[in-house]
Amino acid sequence: MSDDQLDLVFGALADRTRRAILARLAQQDTNVGDLTGLFTMSQPAVSKHLKVLEQAGLVSRTKLGTMRLSHLEAAPLKEATGWLADYRTYWSESFERLDKLLESLD
Amino acid sequence: MNTTDTLEITKDGSHAITINREFEAPIDKVFRAMTDPELIAQWMGPKYLTNTEVHNDAHHGGTWGLVQRDPDGNEYAFRGVFHGEQTPELSMRTFEWLGMPGHVSFETLRLEDLGNGRTRAHNVSVFTSTEDRDGMADSGMDTGVREGYERLDEILERL
């Protein structure tokens, strides 16, 4: 997972409404109308949150008959919070420091 | 060119991790920065860790070691042994984190001259098990990333 994707995932998770949406979708696929029922906000507001989650790859949409259901995508969540993400951060920061050092070396 | 965009870290098969990164510096300078212990101390690890006790005897049978300290005083020590002549084109060494002794990996670093004063570093780390490669044993390196996401544990348990 790239730094850009990690930014999207953690940005998506940094909102309690979106975390609540993920918790609900972890139980079952749900349409936007039923998700809206869980919150004291409008459906367009919930849709906006879903869009952020979709852009981060954490939620996908499926069709069941005429219903459009949101579905939790587990893999990016596991990958973003897993050991490899930490490993990647370690090296990303190390190499950025190395870039600066290389500039200063003769 | 923004070199930070060139970082690629990928799992390789069942036992390896590959790191690729390009640098805006000539190959001999990159090699020096990666082998001189005084220079290694200035860039290895994120900024919040302080590098102490760095040594790096880059020749066959030579040893290397590094201790990193975090602001709480926790220490993370690493060590290994070099195998073969260490050149920019090919450097090989063992790697062990003393927080998990005995879980040793083997690293092959190749630097490539890209021309125009640019260099690509290609590193392959090979582990003795998929579990080691995937860091499934608790690494103990709390980066603070997971703090505050208590509800995530709930979600992950159900997956």
A→B interface, C-beta within 8 Å? 3, 13, 19-20, 22-23, 26-27, 72, 74, 77-78, 81-103, 105
Domain of residue B124, residue span: 3-158
Of A23, A93, A105, Cβ closest to residue B46: A93
ipTM confidence = 0.83
Digitized pLDDT (tens) for each residue of chain A, 106 residues in all:
777 888 899 999 999 999 999 999 999 999 999 999 999 999 999 999 999 999 999 999 988 888 899 999 988 888 888 878 888 889 999 999 999 999 999 7
Give B159's pLDDT tier (boundaries 50, 70, 90).
low
CATH number of the domain enclosing A99: 1.10.10.10
Domain total for chain A? 1
Chain B residue numbers touching A101 (CB-CB < 8 A): 33, 39, 42-43
Domains identified in chain B, total number: 1
Q: Which range marks the domain in which residue A7 is found?
A: 3-104
Mean pLDDT of chain B: 87
pLDDT mean over B4-20: 90
How do B63-69 and B50-56 pair as beta strands? antiparallel
Backbone phi and psi for residue B113, each to the nearest 5 degrees, phi listed first = -75, 115
| 3-state SS string for chain A | CCHHHHHHHHHHHCCHHHHHHHHHHHHCCEEHHHHHCCCCCCHHHHHHHHHHHHHCCCEEEEEECCEEEEEECHHHHHHHCCHHHHHHHHHHHHHHHHHHHHHHCC
Chain A: residue whose CA lies nearest to B44: A94
Stretch B87-105: mean pLDDT:
96
Yes or no, beta carbons of B156 and A78 under 8 Å apart: yes
Contact between B9 and A99 using a beta-carbon 8 Å cutoff: no
Q: State the Cα–Cα distance between residues B21 and B120, nearest whole angstrom.
A: 6
CATH of the domain at B92: 3.30.530.20
Among chain B residues, the shortest Cα distance to A6 is held by: B145
Residues of B near A (CB-CB distance < 8 A)?
3-4, 7, 9, 11, 17, 19, 21, 23-25, 29-30, 32-33, 39, 42-47, 134-136, 139, 141, 143, 145-146, 149, 151-152, 154-156, 158-159
For A21, name the nearest residue in chain B, comparing CA atoms only.
Answer: B155
From chain A, pick out residues whose CB is under 8 angstroms from the CB of B33.
Answer: 98, 101-102, 105
